[in-house]
Amino acid sequence: MAGNQERGPSAGAGVTAGEEWAALHRLAEAARATTLRDLFDADPDRADALTVEHDGVTADFSKQRVTGATLAALVALAERAGLRERIDAMFAGEHINTTEDRAVLHVALRAERGTHLVVDGRDVVAEVHEVLDRMRSFSRAVRDGTHTGHTGRRIRNVINVGIGGSDLGPAMATTALLPYTDRSMRFRFLSNVDGDEAWEVLHDLDPAETLVIVSSKTFTTLETVTNARTVRRWLVDGLGGDERAVAAHFVAVSTNAAEVAAFGIDTERMFGFWDWVGGRFSFDSAIGLSLMIAVGPDHFDDLLAGLRSIDAHLRDAPFERSLPVLMGLIGVWNIDFLGASTHAVLPYSHHLARFPAYLQQLEMESNGKAVTLDGSPVGCATAPVVWGEPGTNGQHAFYQLLHQGTVVVPCDFVAFAHPQHEEGRHHDLLLANCFAQSAALAFGRTAEEVAARGAPAALVPHKVMPGNRPSTTLLLDRLTPYTLGQLVALYEHKVLTQGVIWGVDSFDQWGVELGKELAGAIVPDLEAEGAPALGHDASTDALVARARRLRHA
């Protein structure tokens, strides 16, 4: 190891030039000359040796194209990149989000009451618990009917208006924890600026029974502010035009009290969070208010406990036994050394339907970067395209490509020993499919095996299953608030791990800004009376002109 080189915030920069990176390339050459079949044949204990457990989460990495030597080399890479120092710096509240000069403290959102973390002169844990306490009492009041609407009717509908990290987390978790929710209430999520979504969300609701949570870290996001205005108009109109209704029906979740007040929501009705929580890491902050109302404060506490369990594991476990670190490092192996460019997350759980979408933002907005902390080119591939759908639906849609396509897609299978509801044979069938798919991907079927099963010669090449396609299986007991918390924290810390290896700032998102700016310049041209003089690029001008003709025909 190049032990005396400087580490810390910019240690990831230049990691590709180190000896550890070169060693991994040599191991990748060897990996290309062997198969998962060979690896399992050579080591009867492989499944055990490459399975890691922590607090009820089992990760089977044995169907990844790694050996003990690969993992050792990946761990050496993590050490070379300064991962341990970076983890410590995060927990200490150092400003590891360097391009925005901010601490990165989503771990403080689930820190135990009574512990302390002083950042920039403030005890953030105490502040977190103050907000959690306010969320708890408000959630209880909504759930038990103490907090009513303007006309005294009970709240039966909750709409979270937010986008990105202010939508995906609570939306994903409310779906995941549906069996824990108050089924007498309806929870809806309004995110897109597309008015069709607003119509779908609102059209069959009674404003007198509807609570609106406007969730936006900045409170300036175009989609959220536009939707919030539309919902306010719908609500006030539906309640006889009485603007005073806003007070009982609207609350805000934000870091920006001034904008909340400017929107017309009393800051007494605002639940705050802090600039040290990134949007995509915020679902267990006040951004989770809709979720807390849905599942109740006690289940929300269980979720926090699950997150905390993985935080402690990240801090305390050696990298060789650390689930999120291994998930991150094996991802780096697949992307940078075996050439994968996408990653599928395949939950064998109906309730985790939104989990891949949630992870898309978490991974792609965090690590979809091309420069390191010091602004130099990253020099290797970074975040893959993350995607997925629940099994077994995916099996009857896109798994064909996973098995026989020309691109190799590393997969995470996520499964639970118990369903939410035992329903005849369903769960055994579901699990059998999950395990079968990873086996088929790993071991495939050779031409000889296909022929031996009686396939006509002409069909043999079509039926060959190449195998050697890597996957990890995460197996947990049951999907609960606690295990959902564990799953989210695993992926959060996987993102940190990979960001450190690649040397990027995982906590900024400058790449989303240009599109927002350009849209801002196009809006007036679409809305203008008459024929505006267009000054965009030729393609955009033509599209704007065509859209105007169609809209005004």
Q: Give SS3 for 284.
A: coil
- CB nearer to ligand F6P: pick between 166 and 175: 166
Q: How far apart are CA 127 and CA 244, in angstroms?
A: 30
Residue type, 117: L
- CB nearer to ligand F6P: pick between 221 and 322: 221
Which residue number has the CB closest to ligand F6P?
Answer: 279
What are the structure tokens assigned to 349, written together? 């759980």
Q: How far apart are CA 346 and CA 440, in angstroms?
A: 15
Minimum separation from the CB atom of position 164 to ligand F6P (A): 3
Minimum separation from the CB atom of position 171 to ligand F6P (A): 12
Q: Kindly give the residue spans of alpha helices, DSSP state H, lying in 177-320.
A: 195-202, 222-238, 245-249, 257-263, 289-295, 297-316
Token look-up 């290309």 returns: 32
Tell me the β-bridge partners of 254.
272
How do 51-54 and 57-60 pair as beta strands?
antiparallel
Minimum separation from the CB atom of position 176 to ligand F6P (A): 19
Active site members: 365, 396, 516
- CB nearer to ligand F6P: pick between 181 and 360: 360
Q: How far apart are CA 373 and CA 377, in angstroms?
A: 10
Minimum separation from the CB atom of position 95 to ligand F6P (A): 18
Query: What DSSP designation does 209 have?
Result: G
Quick check: bond before 392 cis, omega within 30?
yes
Residue 1: burial class (beta carbons within 10 Å; 0-12, 13-18, 19+): exposed
Minimum separation from the CB atom of position 57 to ligand F6P (A): 26
- CB nearer to ligand F6P: pick between 358 and 399: 358
Q: How far apart are CA 105 and CA 524, in angstroms?
A: 39
- CB nearer to ligand F6P: pick between 70 and 215: 215
Report the residue count for the chain. Answer: 553
Q: Can you give the binding site for ligand F6P, defined by CB under 6 A?
A: 163-166, 216-218, 221, 224, 279-280, 365, 509, 512
- CB nearer to ligand F6P: pick between 517 and 527: 517
First vs last C-alpha separation in the chain: 69
Minimum separation from the CB atom of position 284 to ligand F6P (A): 14
Q: Let me know: does 250 contact 232? Beta carbons within 8 Å.
A: yes
Residues contacting 162, CB < 8 A, separation 6+: 170, 189, 191, 213, 214, 215, 216, 224, 253, 287
- CB nearer to ligand F6P: pick between 16 and 230: 230
Q: How far apart are CA 471 and CA 391, in angstroms?
A: 14
Residue type, 67: T
- CB nearer to ligand F6P: pick between 272 and 279: 279
Consecutive H or E run containing 414:
strand 411-418
Residue 185: burial class (beta carbons within 10 Å; 0-12, 13-18, 19+): middle
Minimum separation from the CB atom of position 498 to ligand F6P (A): 18
Q: Let me know: does 392 contact 432? Beta carbons within 8 Å.
A: no
Minimum separation from the CB atom of position 300 to ligand F6P (A): 20
